[in-house]
Amino acid sequence: MSGRKQAQGRRACDKTVVLLMVLLILLGLVTLFSATYYQRTASGDALAAVKKQLIGIALGAAACVTLSRVPYRTYRSPRIMLALLALSALLLILVIIPGIGVSINGSRRWLNLLGLSMQPSEFAKYAMVIFMAGALDRRGEAIGSLFGGVVPLLIVPGVMFLLILEQPNLSTGGSILICALAMLFCAGLKKRHMALLSVMGLAVGAFYAWSAPYRRERLLSFRDPFAKMSDEGYQLSQSLIALGSGGLFGMGLGQGRQKFAYLPYPESDFIFAIVGEDFGLAGCAAVIALFAAFVFAGLRVSLSCRDRYGCLLGAGITSMIGLQAFINMGVVTGILPTTGLPLPFFSAGGTSVSMIMAAVGILLNISRESGCASL
């Protein structure tokens, strides 16, 4: 028996997931440098943003390696789940309190802890995934009942959604609800219940977006951003100009012009536009292919897991990363209404990249215990 446990402990994690993560991180650093090097006149260092991102990557790498060796079933413990949810709720409440949460551009989404800035919503995303995986595993066949099994499970994601709306941050709150719905679908949610919940979610999102004039203008502007270029359509217009300027193979690393006081947030929400301008359609296609391969590899790890909990946990982590990438790229290309959501592994933000890498560490442990180590 001890020999079997040692053999399990020596199992390698999935090399494909590791390789894809490393490639996305490296491409993200190159793109971040291109998006921010011109700021050296203000900071005195062309690599200032890259160095800051490397701190988050270093913390994320340490968390990834550590969590890849912690048995994923540990998170199934009710005590662990409740502790993660309680910490998420506390941080989400603290961030919306004036004087405690850091307000930037009218949004209060950050906390300053020991000189480091963090976004509690990034932690809440994966706390929700861990909770949903455990709850769905325990509920089993009960999710066949809409009001008896499904609706109670949505209370926790719903509360997180409402707290994040107070920041305000509709995109992150919405991604939590969509990911929860995706996990329900993976657990065997009935199609009619899936359709009903999807329609209800869209109705809630539309009502919120329509309830304030500036959100309503932003919602409508993505249909024809150039008609509202002086107002709510400005960001998307500049993004589309950047993408169009790149052509097939791009203008070259750092040669793009839109980041020079034209494109807002080129280092974060609209960094994919920098990919398009510098590396063209070919570069965008390569990035999309890498994300698609990452999602495929993550789902393969999940499906190869021997138990229901590990399968749901892996699927939830993969869905959250894939969903966030799809929404960000959809916004930048004008497929979706303009909203603020970082591109995983690319956008500047230590909290985002470190939390994603930590979540990948859990996914790697699932692959390690499932014996899935293909390249």
What's the predicted TM-score (pTM) here?
0.91
How wide is the angle at C-alpha 319 spanned by C-alphas 122 and 222, nearest 5°? 75
What is the predicted pLDDT for the residue at 106? 67
Instruction: Supply the pLDDT for residue 1.
Output: 42
The answer to whether the CB of 368 falls within 8 A of the CB of 306 is no
Q: What phi and psi values does residue 107 have, to the nearest 5 degrees? A: -115, 135
Most confident of 191-195, 242-246, 290-294: 290-294
Answer yes or no: is pLDDT of 296 > 50: yes
Phi, psi for 253 (deg, rounded to 5): -55, 120
DSSP calls for 154-168: THHHHHHHHHHHTTT
Does residue 41 register a pLDDT over 80? no
Helix (H) or strand (E) holding 360: helix 350-370
Checking if the pLDDT of 220 tops 90, the result is no
What is the band of 7 on the pLDDT scale with cuts at 50, 70, 90? very low
| Residue pLDDT, tens place only, 148-167 | 888 889 999 999 999 998 88
Instruction: For residue 299, give every residue at least 6 positions away whose Cβ sits within 8 Å of its Cβ, in sequence order, or none.
Output: 314, 315, 318
- Identity (one letter) of the amino acid at 122? E
Strand partners, 110: 102
pLDDT of residue 364: 96
Q: Specify burial of residue 229 (Cβ count, 10 A radius: 0-12, 13-18, 19+).
A: middle
3-state SS string over 275-339?
HHHHHHHHHHHHHHHHHHHHHHHHHHHHHHCCCHHHHHHHHHHHHHHHHHHHHHHHHHCCCCCCC
pLDDT reported for residue 42: 62
pLDDT number for residue 8: 45
Q: 228 by DSSP, 3-state: which?
A: helix
Answer yes or no: is pLDDT of 178 > 50.
yes
Q: Which residue has the higher pLDDT, 75 or 225?
A: 75
Per-residue pLDDT band at 264 (split at 50, 70, 90): confident
Q: For the segment 326-375, what is each residue's pLDDT rounded down to a tens digit? A: 999 999 998 888 777 899 999 998 889 999 999 999 999 999 887 665 66
Structure tokens at 350: 């230590």
Give the dihedral sign, CA 256/261/262/267.
Answer: positive
Mean residue pLDDT across the chain: 87
3: pLDDT confidence band, cut at 50, 70 and 90?
A: very low
